[in-house]
């Protein structure tokens, strides 16, 4: 199995690309800085429409999406629906919508996590690391690293 180190690079030296979909410029920049500091490769998107364009690029291999719900163009719920519930790509919602029924609805729709704004940067960073570890664990095992018997 491939292990992620703290610098966001796995043992095959592939960059971990994270799409940051947030229309507030300051929050988007903050998240991108946190991701860069952690060794990940963030790509900012400022609308739902822009996010879908990035997600449709076949050459991009996204490892995660950080997604706001209240976006110009397509909103976060529409993007989540388009991604579908059976995807392997982890999606963490970052939203000012803090009502319990909204959180439950979005999680049942297929989001992997829900963080309410304002958020603690260290908590967001820890949750990103945790979800990336989990998503790598469900990937097929690397036969070279399996124990020899």
Q: What is the mean pLDDT of residues 65-77?
A: 96
Cβ–Cβ < 8 Å for 54, 67: no
Determine which helix (DSSP H) or strand (DSSP E) holds 44, and give its type and residue range: strand 41-45
Q: Average the pLDDT over each of 8-12, 47-51, 126-130 and give the range with the smallest value.
A: 8-12
**What size, in residues, is the chain?**
149
CA distance 95 to 46: 14
**136 band by pLDDT with thresholds 50, 70 and 90:** confident
Domains within the chain, CATH numbers bracketed: 17-141 (3.40.50.2300)
Neighbours of 68 (CB within 10 A): 27
Q: Indicate yes or no: pTM above 0.85.
A: no
Q: What is the mean pLDDT of residues 56-67?
A: 89
Residues 6+ apart with CB under 8 A from 113: 90, 92, 93, 107, 127, 131
């Amino acid at each position: 199995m491939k292990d992620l180190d703290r610098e966001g690079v796995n043992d095959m030296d592939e960059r971990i690309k994270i799409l940051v979909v947030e229309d507030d410029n300051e929050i988007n920049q903050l998240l991108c800085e946190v991701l860069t500091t952690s060794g990940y490769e963030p790509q900012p998107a400022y609308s739902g429409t822009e996010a879908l364009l990035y997600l449709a690029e076949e050459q991009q291999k996204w490892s995660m999406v950080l997604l706001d719900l209240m976006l110009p163009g397509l909103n976060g719920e529409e993007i989540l629906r388009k991604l579908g519930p059976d995807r392997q790509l982890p999606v963490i919602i970052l939203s000012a919508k803090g009502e319990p029924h909204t959180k439950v609805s979005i999680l049942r729709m297929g989001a992997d996590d829900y963080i309410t704004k304002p958020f603690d940067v260290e908590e967001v960073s820890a949750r990103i690391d945790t979800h990336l570890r989990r998503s790598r664990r469900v990937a097929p095992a690397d036969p070279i690293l399996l124990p020899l018997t």
